[in-house]
Amino acid sequence: MSVLRYPARHTKDVAYTRKEQRRAGAHARSLARGASYMRLFYLGLAALALYLGYHSITVKPLHVTNRPLLVLSGVLLVLALFQAAGERKNSAKARVGATNESRVARVLSKTNTDYLINSAMLGVGGDADHVLLGPCLAVVETKSGRGPLSVRGHSLVSGSKIIPGDPVAQVKRQAAALGRIAGSYCDAIVCVADTTTPIQIDRGVTLCSLSQLPGVIAALPARISQQDAANLNDQVRHRDRANR
């Protein structure tokens, strides 16, 4: 019996189907919210620094006892604005990542995968962006990037920008965790959404673009039966809840 496919329920930035466990990019969105909250915190500190500086100048005549407060408020203002700018950048990056995860999830939901779990916490640090269960067994890591993709040591370079961290090691870690749960080999894929380079292999991990992803998934070998996929779906969901 095949798994029923339900019509997509469209939201602002993601098509979500019932065979998926949650909206794609959930973890990235939580990081974006956290960065936004921290930005507000630092902006509050900047406002406090301005108040202290104003107070040190206007409430009393500026003499030697007021100068330490003025200097302190100036330093606090600069540091707070610097941190606020950094958190704004972090929030923007996380939101771009969440959008690309949503794009990848749309493509994956149209493949012959029985179960698709987005943002799964498998207990090995961070989350697995997309877990595919049945008939293949795979983890897909989504990264943002445009232009040619190249491998430099343990880094991926998209265009002229280095993708943060080690995406290949990251997805291998998540795939190994899923493989231990399933008792089977798990394929690992890094999808750099807008790269223009042909499919590559790095350390046993497939590197591809969003447009190449359907073909990569279609070429994966069948590793588990539909019943095993259903059982594994329950196990992964339980593991996910336990790690949140």
Q: What is the pLDDT of residue 8?
A: 33
Mean pLDDT computed over 99-114 = 92
Surface-to-core class of residue 93, CB atoms within 10 Å of its CB (0-12 exposed, 13-18 middle, 19+ buried): middle
What's the Cα-to-Cα distance from 180 to each of 136, 175, 176, 177, 183, rounded to whole Å?
15, 9, 6, 5, 5
Q: What is the DSSP string of 35-71?
A: HHHHHHHHHHHHHHHHHHHHHHHHTS---TTTHHHHH
Mean pLDDT computed over 96-125 = 91
Q: Which two tokens stand for residue 162?
A: 């280095």
Closest CA to 75 of 41, 54, 50: 50
pLDDT in tens, 188-218: 999 999 999 999 999 999 999 999 999 999 9
Whether 209 and 194 have beta carbons less than 8 Å apart is answered as yes
Per-residue pLDDT band for 53 (boundaries 50, 70, 90) equals confident
Do the strands 205-208 and 187-195 form a parallel or antiparallel pair, or are they unpaired?
parallel
- The H or E element that residue 187 is part of is strand 187-195
Whether 129 and 118 have beta carbons less than 8 Å apart is answered as yes
User: Who's near 238: CB < 8 A, 6+ residues apart?
Assistant: none
Per-residue pLDDT band for 3 (boundaries 50, 70, 90) equals very low
Q: Residues 5, 208, 135, 127: is their CA dihedral positive or negative?
A: negative
3-state secondary structure (DSSP) of residue 157: strand
Closest CA to 135 of 219, 216, 229, 21: 229
Separation CA 138–CA 54 (nearest Å): 59
Separation CA 131–CA 113 (nearest Å): 10
Separation CA 239–CA 220 (nearest Å): 25
Per-residue pLDDT band for 63 (boundaries 50, 70, 90) equals low
Q: Which two tokens stand for residue 217?
A: 């998934």
Residue 91 clears pLDDT 70, i.e. is over it = yes
Per-residue pLDDT band for 35 (boundaries 50, 70, 90) equals confident
3-state secondary structure (DSSP) of residue 16: strand
Whether 215 and 97 have beta carbons less than 8 Å apart is answered as no
Residue 147 clears pLDDT 70, i.e. is over it = yes
Q: What is the pLDDT of residue 31?
A: 72
Model-level pTM? 0.73
